[in-house]
């Protein structure tokens, strides 16, 4: 995608459904950091990765035997973390389409989130248990129980949502009792806690600048908090809700530029997306989709595109109404409202001698075209980053078929169909059990 060809005055939010992605029963979806790939977890335990430009399936990975609760991208886009209700987490290496590591926990997982800087560290929220931070670097698995020092006053609680901040220095955890805990990302000590609501916190979402937080709870209210700095204390700025119908929000998110807040309606007979202005708090638009419940949604990190997941297992792509803009390809091109008479210049259509044409071609051939240097796109460089990562993955190459005997033996042991190198069945040979006291 060439960002220079995008219209800077394009509408800031989508309006219509342009395309539908169908492959199995999808439960949730997430864009990578660049918006070039879209990952989804399915009900049958698969993780599907679409190339967002071609809308083709780049990877179809089978690593779980129960539904995938969440998917999370690594910073460089090479690894994908999938958390499932079968008590396991799988870190996928998308370049080779194989499992980098598979870890079994002592209980089912509710969600997991990759570290924003380190590709080998993640946090996971466990069902009816304390959340954990897992480090799988250097071939070893180190696990740390979080909130172990918290006194559970007022009865037993569990963490229902967990997320890293933008810099990876803090972990934010929301509980079933409505508490928000801030945990140090290095020592894993609890630094701050506050009571956000009296109901369960379902999700914690961050804006792209890393200073805005959106907390979605079971009390039908989405709360917008702001941080003065990445390690600061959040301050409540606004609340978003449907005062008329009092509907639940199954999913919530910020827009790509952080100016809008979107909420996915939890109504059982509609697929509506509500868009609010973040600062003013007024309702800007209601996107009305098919008569299917909405389970999850994700806003494209750069463009005004929303991917929403239906309860029927489909992904709908919402986009803006596209208008042809030929001046983006030729700056001197002018669109005419009606036909105009044109007077040609005296020498405008004169025949150029063959020698002159040949000389111009030779001059063009002498120009050296650099096709290897990748220039930094400022839209991809965050404010706290010096430059783009060298090993960042934008698109996934096709996986070659196994040619040697060793790979053939591994395929036979797995009992999986590896034709095309894209689908991998789950196995027990790489599972690491994690036991906690």
Mean pLDDT of 33-41: 92
Q: Is the pLDDT of residue 187 over 50?
A: yes
Task: Count Cβ neighbours within 10 Å for each residue of 329-338 and write b for 16 or more, e otherwise.
Answer: eeeeeeeeee
pLDDT above 90 (res 382): no
- Would you place residue 412 in the very low, low, confident or very high pLDDT band (cuts 50, 70, 90)? very low
Tens digits of residue pLDDT in 312-337: 989 999 998 766 666 666 777 777 77
Q: How far apart are CA 284 and CA 75, in angstroms?
A: 32
| Domains in the chain with CATH codes | 12-319 (2.130.10.10)
Residues 6+ apart with CB under 8 A from 265: 247, 248, 249, 250, 271, 272, 273, 274, 294
- pLDDT at residue 63, rounded to an integer: 87
Check whether 19 has a pLDDT greater than 80: yes
pLDDT, greater one: 20 or 425 = 20
> pLDDT grade, residue 216 (50/70/90)?
very high
pLDDT band at 381 (very low <50, low <70, confident <90, very high): low
Confidence of residue 424 (pLDDT cuts 50, 70, 90): very low
Beta bridge partners of 318: 17, 306
CA distance 123 to 112: 6
Section 73-97 average pLDDT: 92
Indicate if the pLDDT at residue 420 is higher than 60.
no
Residue 404 exposure: Cα atoms within 13 Å on the Cβ side: 2
* pLDDT tens-digit map of 301-315: 988 999 999 999 899
Q: What is the pLDDT of residues 113-145, one digit of tens each?
A: 999 988 899 999 998 888 999 998 877 888 999
How confident is the model over 57-75, as a mean pLDDT? 92
pLDDT at 217 over 60: yes
In the prediction, which pLDDT does 43 show? Answer: 93
Which pLDDT score is estimated for 376? 63
Note the pLDDT of residue 281.
86
> pLDDT tens digit string along 227-283?
988 888 899 999 999 888 888 999 999 998 889 999 999 888 889 999 999 888 889
Is the per-residue pLDDT at 192 higher than 80?
Answer: yes
pLDDT at 415 over 90: no
Instruction: Using the predicted structure, report yes or no on whether residue 413 has a pLDDT greater than 80.
Output: no
Least confident of 26-40, 92-106, 314-328: 314-328
Q: What is the dihedral of CA 212, 218, 221, 222, to 10 degrees?
A: 20
DSSP collapsed to 3 states, the chain: CCHHHCCCCCCCCCCEEEEEECCCCEEEEEECCCCCEEEEEECCCEEEEEECCCCEEEEEEECCCCCEEEEEECCCCCEEEEEECCCEEEEEECCCCEEEEEEECCCCEEEEEECCCCCCEEEEEECCCCCEEEECHHHCCEEEECCCCCCCCCCCCCEEEEEECCCCCEEEEEECCCEEEEEECCCCCEEEEEECCCCCEEEEEECCCCCEEEEEECCCCEEEEECCCCCCCCEEEEEECCCCCCCCEEEEEECCCCCEEEEEECCCCCCEEEEEECCCCCEEEEEECCCCCEEEEEECCCCCCEEEEECCCCEEEEECCCCCCHHHCCCCCCCCCCCCCCCCCCCCCCCCCHHHHHHHHHHHHCCCCCCCCCCCCHHHCCCCCCCCCCCCCCCCCCCCCCCCHHHHHHHHHHCCCCCCCCCCCCCCCCEEECCCC
C-alpha 247/C-alpha 177 separation (Å) is 20
What is the rounded distance in angstroms from the CA atom of residue 140 to the CA atom of residue 129?
23
Of 79 and 398, more confident: 79
Q: Judge contact between 147 and 208, C-beta under 8 A.
A: no
> How do strand 431-433 and strand 98-104 relate by DSSP bridges?
parallel
For residue 393, the model assigns a pLDDT of 84
209 or 368, greater pLDDT: 209
Taking the C-alpha atoms of residue 305 and residue 291, their distance in angstroms, rounded to an integer, is: 20
The average pLDDT across 344-352 equals 78
CA torsion sign for 56, 59, 65, 69 is negative
């Amino acid at each position: 995608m060439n960002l220079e060809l995008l219209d800077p005055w394009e509408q800031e939010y989508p309006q219509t459904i342009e395309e539908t992605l169908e492959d199995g029963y999808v439960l949730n979806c997430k864009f990578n950091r660049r918006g070039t790939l879209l990952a989804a977890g399915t009900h049958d335990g698969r993780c599907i990765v679409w190339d967002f430009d071609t809308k083709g399936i780049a990877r179809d990975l089978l690593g779980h035997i129960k539904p995938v609760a969440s998917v999370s991208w690594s910073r460089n886009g090479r690894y994908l973390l999938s958390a499932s209700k079968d008590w396991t987490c799988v870190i996928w290496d998308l370049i080779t389409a194989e499992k980098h590591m598979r870890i079994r926990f002592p209980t089912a997982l509710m969600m997991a989130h990759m570290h924003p800087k380190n590709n080998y560290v993640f946090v996971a929220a466990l069902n009816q248990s304390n959340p954990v931070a897992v480090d799988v670097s250097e071939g070893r698995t180190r696990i740390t129980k979080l909130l172990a020092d918290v006194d559970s006053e007022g009865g037993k609680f569990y963490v229902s949502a967990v997320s890293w901040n933008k810099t990876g220095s803090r972990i934010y955890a929301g509980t079933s009792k409505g508490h928000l805990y801030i945990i140090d990302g290095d020592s894993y000590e609890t630094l701050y806690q506050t009571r956000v609501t009296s109901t369960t916190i379902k999700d914690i979402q961050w804006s792209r600048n890393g200073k805005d937080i959106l907390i979605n709870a079971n009390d039908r209210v989405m709360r917008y908090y702001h941080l003065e700095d990445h390690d600061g204390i959040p301050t409540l700025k606004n609340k978003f809700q449907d005062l008329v119908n009092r509907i639940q929000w199954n999913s919530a998110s910020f827009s790509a530029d952080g100016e809008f807040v979107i909420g996915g309606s939890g109504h059982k007979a509609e697929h509506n997306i509500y868009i609010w202005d973040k600062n003013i708090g007024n309702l800007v638009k209601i996107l009305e989709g098919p008569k299917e419940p909405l389970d999850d949604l994700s806003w494209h990190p750069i463009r005004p595109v929303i991917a929403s997941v239906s309860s029927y297992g489909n992904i709908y792509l919402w986009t803006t109404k596209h208008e042809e803009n030929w001046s983006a390809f030729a700056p001197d091109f002018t669109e005419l409202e009606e036909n105009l008479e044109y007077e040609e210049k005296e020498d405008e259509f004169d025949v150029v001698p063959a020698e002159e044409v040949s000389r111009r071609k030779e001059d063009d051939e002498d120009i050296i075209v650099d096709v290897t240097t990748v220039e930094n796109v400022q839209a991809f460089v965050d404010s706290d980053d010096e430059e783009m990562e060298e090993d960042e993955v934008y698109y996934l190459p096709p996986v070659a078929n196994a040619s040697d005997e060793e790979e053939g033996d591994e395929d036979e042991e797995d009992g999986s169909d590896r034709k095309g190198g894209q689908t991998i069945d789950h196995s027990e040979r790489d599972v690491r059990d994690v036991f906690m006291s």
